[in-house]
Amino acid sequence: MGEMQVPADAYYGASTQRAVLNFPISGEPMPRRFIRALGMVKRAAAQTNRELGLLPRRRARAITAAAQEIIDGKHDDQFPIDIYQTGSGTSTNTNANEVIANRATEIIGGERGSKLVHPNDHVNLGQSSNDVIPTAIQLAAAMAIQDELIPALERLERALEAKSKEFWPVIKTGRTHLQDATPIRLGQEFKGYAGQVEESIRRARGAIDELARVPLGGTAVGTGLNSHPLYARSVAARLAKASRIPVKESPNHFHAQATLDVLVAAHGALRTIGTSLWKIGSDIRLMGTGPIAGLGELRLAETQPGSSIMPGKVNPVIVESMLMVIARVYGNDTTVAVCGQAGSLFELNVMMPVAGAAILESITLLAAATRNFSERCVEGLQATDRGPELVERSPMLATALTPVIGYDEAAKLAKESMRTGRSIRQLARARGVTEKQLNKVLDLGKMTKPGLEGPGGGG
């Protein structure tokens, strides 16, 4: 394609520079986590090719050392290509090959640009962009979930479990349809939130299992042309050891690189995790409304002034921050789904780079927002007296009287309580229900446990 001027101090070559000029789109290069994973693939490939007798020892060691520098982040400025580029990520794979080849050439005493270590013949040996790029994306995403998201979720689960125990004595009005329902312990609500996060951790681990089956070894179209039969299995074993992810060669290469089904499924787990966090954050925000005109059942930590005009106002900004992150995750989920649906054409998906960037952004944002939510919101929550005060005035306590006076009469009491403001206890006493019966059926603690003595179901 003719000559191409490349910066004198660059490790990349003409192909990378041409891609830089071809894709002046966002100014955002591929994420650091992806570049790190790509370096890990190149390192494992060089070691495997040496083991299989396909690459001379000296070159293999130099490629391994250069790839390690990529992993360590020493050459991040040498990966300038935009996210919105070649749909297969070929430009970035070529970029990595050029950088590693030139650096490896230097390591063995050659001159940069001399191709003593060749980017295609040596660094890319046994590989194609079509199997390397999706492998690096899946590895990067699995490692990010393992190293960032799961620890953040585990911290949140511990914080919610601790608050569940702390708040267990607090009995308040339950709510369904945003209307008063039978009593519940504040600790039981937080136990539910902790359960959501426990399930989120399970789903995150399931996403890792999805991502761990990589397409490496399929080369161009899944047939494995120009790749040693033992190559993919050996590289996968090396990647598993280095990453602590159970990386395995996909049993079906034709599926693995022709689609992004794995990313779509894994990001679906992230979407579900985000939805759980949305519910938890929204409930806490609602219970903290006030301090005078809202529910006021929780006191949220004061993190910053909430208004430039209203002195003393404090807002639930940590929850708001997390909800905005989840909104972004929902957008990324649509991006990944569209990439999987519209980018899969015959033997190759051609929307891989943006799908990879989207899933990595979602993982990083969810992990950071979850950590922040734990530290700056959940761990500092305090229960107020508002919940216990309101539960005694709740008309829904009439439900507990159903076994004593029947559903219709209990409904009349509830309506009268709402109309007059008198408590259910007062109205029932006036109807002739004995104090002994009232103390038995209106025992709030009993009403938060299973049993036949209390009320029946409801909506």
- Marked catalytic residue, from 15, 122, 177, 344: 177
Residue ranges of domains in the chain: 14-125, 131-171+184-218+251-385, 392-448
Residue in this structure with the two tokens 């194609």, named with its chain if needed: 128
Kindly state the helix (H) or strand (E) to which residue 173 belongs, with its residue range: strand 171-176
Instruction: Mention every residue, 6+ apart, whose C-beta is less than 8 A from residue 421.
Output: 393
Cβ atoms of 406 and 441 within 8 Å: the answer is no
Query: pLDDT tens-digit profile of 269-324?
Result: 999 999 999 999 999 999 999 988 999 999 999 988 888 788 888 899 999 999 99
DSSP labels, 27-70: SPBPPHHHHHHHHHHHHHHHHHHHHTTSS-HHHHHHHHHHHHHH
pLDDT score for 439: 86
Q: What is the mean pLDDT of each run of 10 residues along the chain (459 residues)?
A: 90 97 98 98 98 98 98 98 98 98 98 96 98 98 98 98 98 94 96 98 98 98 96 98 98 96 98 98 97 94 85 91 98 98 96 98 98 98 95 86 89 91 90 87 88 52
User: Which of 91, 250, 307, 394 is flagged as catalytic?
Assistant: 307
Say which DSSP state 360 is in.
H
177: annotated active-site residue: yes
Q: How far apart are CA 355 and CA 361, in angstroms?
A: 10
- Lookup result for tokens 């993190």: 303
Between CA 398 and CA 404, with CA 401 as vertex, the angle to 5 degrees is 155
Out of 3.30.300.180, 3.40.50.720, 1.10.10.60, 1.10.275.10, the CATH code matching 14-125 is: 1.10.275.10
- pTM of the predicted model, to two decimals? 0.94
Strand partners of residue 179: 176
- Cα gap 219→224, rounded to integer Å: 5
Q: How far apart are CA 270 and CA 204, in angstroms?
A: 7
Which residues contact residue 397 at a Cβ distance below 8 angstroms, ignoring those fewer than 6 apart? 182, 183, 391, 423, 424, 425, 442
CATH of domain 392-448: 1.10.40.30
State the pLDDT at residue 457: 46
* 164 flagged as catalytic: no
Q: The domain 131-171+184-218+251-385 belongs to what CATH superfamily? A: Fumarase/aspartase (Central domain) (1.20.200.10)
Cβ 82 vs Cβ 22: under 8 Å = no
The first and second tokens of residue 12, run together, are: 């990349």
